Amino acid sequence: MPMSPLQHNSSPVLASSEVSPQEFSPEERTLLLRLAHDSISSALQRREISLDPPTPHFAEPRGAFTSLYLLGELRGCVGYVLPTCPVYRAVAETARAAAFDDNRFPPVTPDEAPHLEIELSILSPPQPIHPEEIEVGRHGLFVTQHGRRGLLLPQVPIEHKWDRTTFLEQTCRKAGLPLDAWQKGATIQAFVAEVFGDKTV
């Protein structure tokens, strides 16, 4: 069973090519975005869709976040940090969760669904990293301590023009930890994300 989705606050920002290493082809990106849209519309229509990965690549486990935008404003964002299920299933499940289970927003309505713009962030597995090795604009961060955890995607510090220290502090803040927890025993892991959306495929 996949872990419970983690919600991630975001705002409209297009990731640069520096943030998005190319693992997925344009055709694969289009298919995953279509899957995300279909996962939302099928829930509204109460119909089933297949979550069986159509290719071996889509069967590889990946963490994934789905961000929804409506008229340029965030409408939902939910994701899996850890690669606990195939990327194909992760995209479908996080898209549906972003539409209906992000408690910051009311559920997406049938009238809204056709107008949603989707952005996907496909994550590499988190790996331990020393603070001085973190590259702003390349790495996302995952900080854990005392059962608390916080995650920020690679594009977030670019959007806010944060330096490395501020990025670490804000990830600690996201976890509900003191800003200096990264200096006081918190576990720091980094990942890279391939970010693409309806506007960028």
C-beta of residue 82 within 8 angstroms of C-beta of residue 74 = no
Handedness of CA 115, 156, 102, 1 (dihedral sign): positive
150 falls within a domain: yes
Q: What is the pLDDT of residues 2-55, one digit of tens each?
A: 334 454 444 333 333 334 458 899 999 999 999 999 999 999 999 999 999 999
Nearest to 91 by CA among 177, 25, 5, 158: 5
Domain hosting 34: range is 6-124+193-197
Q: How many domains would you assign to the chain?
A: 2
Beta-bridged to residue 7, according to DSSP, are 78
DSSP for 25-60?
Answer: -HHHHHHHHHHHHHHHHHHHHT-----S-SSTGGGS
Beta-bridged to residue 127, according to DSSP, are 190
Q: What confidence score (pLDDT) does residue 16 get?
A: 34
- CATH number reported for the structural domain that contains residue 76 in this entry: 3.30.700.20
Do 110 and 151 share a domain, yes or no? no
Do 98 and 160 share a domain, yes or no? no
**Can you list the residues of the chain whose pLDDT is less than 70?**
1-21, 201
1 falls within a domain: no
Count CB neighbours of 60 within 10 A: 13
